[in-house]
Structure 1
């Protein structure tokens, strides 16, 4: 493979700023909520200070009452949608005993298969430890492939790429626990899709063949074929890479369910102060009913700006969680050797 191969980390592959990806994925969701509310309140204060007569504008007609009545309706509607969403998530956990037994059998069969791969009696129970074990096996098999590569630079380059990527992701999982985004983030930084495609292509070009590509394969571009040791090491590496895909997808699904349940709880709590403040602004607030709070800032402008911040709190919570879920979903739309980014087109790479 050439130096044009796609980068391993999600940030490098996405070709987006570190700050943007930090806000979308890595940052604590409550911190994102706080940043969003600070921007909203700050913008409202800035506009209020730029308007020639903000107090007169707020006293003319009933803009405050109209706005906060809308906030009340939006909050109630949003809570209803969140409750429905929670029911949808929980519905996947409900079912007859036969369905639950089938799920159990599938899970146990998967764990037996992975235990055989790990060469241990039982595979690790926690997702972070499971991924670390899988990445350790992948790293070791990549090292075996590099040792058997000999003068074949294609195999050596692939093995080095897999080993370095697996080692880096494995180290980042140290101390991580499920429910923390670090587990999913680490999985996103292992670019297994491209590595699996590269390994399968090398196997086909080296004469090893593939079930999908026909038995016997084709000769490599330089006329050489893989030796028996190289073929065996490459097959072992492909087996580990193929297992990483469903493993990451399973943990991603569990994480999405975890996040959606957390979202439901947080947004339900956030809706209480939002409804209380909005109701107060509709029923009791009158411009001029508060004494001066901050010198140089008209009190009605400050009160309305802060009240709007409370009113949009449920929306801010929803926005912060959905941004991360949507970003992760977009980066993991495909499973296996399918690469959706146009910059990762296999035709752009030199395999000689």
Structure 2
């Protein structure tokens, strides 16, 4: 039985690979980044108020301006330095867009050459311009080639009508996975994470590895037509890798621009609140309590939360970027995460 039947290494969707299940997957990948930032801010606010109210220490410190000054002065410095660093990083990322005409022509030539190679591999004259449609075309082609492979091995005279189980199983897994990913890619607009998420859910690395192993195992028993179809399937899978990496890189740039825009919008209000807390706010002006909690404590917690909002937004976006980057460090049939192939570790 082929290893493609199950196991950690064959987890086709990112959700199946994330330790912590659906909540952790939402936090790291799937959730709206502004909502994730809001959750982090709410947790920070709750921890600050909870420790201030129930932890060791005295609430009377709030009536002394020194602690407030000491708290919000680093917030002001952090906002200014953080936004400056992110905008500088943004310029470095976008520097490739500002190159001389020769570099731009080389980029254009490489892109057109890659598209032509893909069109030749999938036997089409023109490939679609949209990333989702381009990836969907590759996935649909692997679906069609897997079905063709299945038909050939099931009618192959060299196997006396008894197709090898691992070949059949491999082709069926490719068909099933391709159908799922193709449906997810259909009609998706680049700029939303859905396109990259669907592409990441197509476990092409394992398909290349398992496909090459199964093909080489039955090279002597399969007909030349079946082997040719197998080779065509593996070739299209090999095109999917660089295509996905290219669109992932473009998405990372897109996200960095979104981070910069979000920080520019929120930084000035956050700075204004921090400055107000340093220059004007007096805890004695809000004497009293709400739900048993000191009003001064509640307002200081709100102001602190607003002050660190730029950091929370930055962190929420970076969490998704670094998580995706970690999962896609290798290209091709290299699998960096833990697998359960057992004793099957030798070269074949």
Common fold, TM-score beyond 0.5?
A: yes
Residue correspondence of structure 1 range 1-352 to structure 2 within 5 A: 1-2=2-3, 3-5=5-7, 6-51=10-55, 54-60=58-64, 62-150=66-154, 151-207=163-219, 224-290=220-286, 292=288, 294-343=290-339, 345=341, 347-348=343-344
Aligned-partner Cα distance in 2 for 1:91–1:66: 38
Q: Secondary structure at the match of 2:97?
A: coil
Question: Mind listing any 5+ residue stretches in structure 1 that lack a counterpart?
Answer: 208-223
CA contact (8 A) 2:206 2:335 kept: yes
Higher helix share: 2
The CA deviation at 1:229 is: 1.8
Give the distance between the partners of 1:202 and 1:98, measured in 2 at CA.
44
Deviation of 1:51 after TM superposition, in Å, equals 4.8
Would you say the 8 A contact 1:339–1:345 is kept in 2?
no
- Give 5+ residue unaligned stretches, structure 2: 155-162
Question: What's the CA shift for 1:192?
Answer: 0.5
Per-residue deviation, residues 23-74 of structure 1 (Å, max 9, x unmatched): 1000000000111111111122222321577541212461110110011111
Number of corresponding residues: 336
Supply the distance in 1 between the matched residues of 2:187 and 2:133 (Cα, whole angstroms): 9
Deviation at 1:291, TM superposition (A): 5.4
Q: CA deviation at 1:263?
A: 0.6
CA distance in 2, matches of 1:37, 1:252: 28
CA contact (8 A) 1:4 1:349 kept: no
Q: 1:15 to 1:305 in 2, by over 3 A?
A: closer
Taking the aligned partners of 2:139 and 2:342, their CA distance within structure 1 comes to: 24
Q: TM-score, normalised by structure 1?
A: 0.90
Q: 2: CA distance between counterparts of 1:251 and 1:52?
A: 51
Distance 1:243 1:204 in 2: 20
TM-score, with length taken from structure 2: 0.91
Could you tell me whether the CA contact under 8 Å between 1:54 and 1:301 is conserved in 2? no
CA distance in 1, matches of 2:273, 2:19: 42
The whole-number CA distance in structure 2 between the counterparts of 1:163 and 1:234 is 13
* Residues 90 and 256, structure 2, Cα contact 8 Å, conserved in 1: yes
Deviation at 1:347, TM superposition (A): 4.7
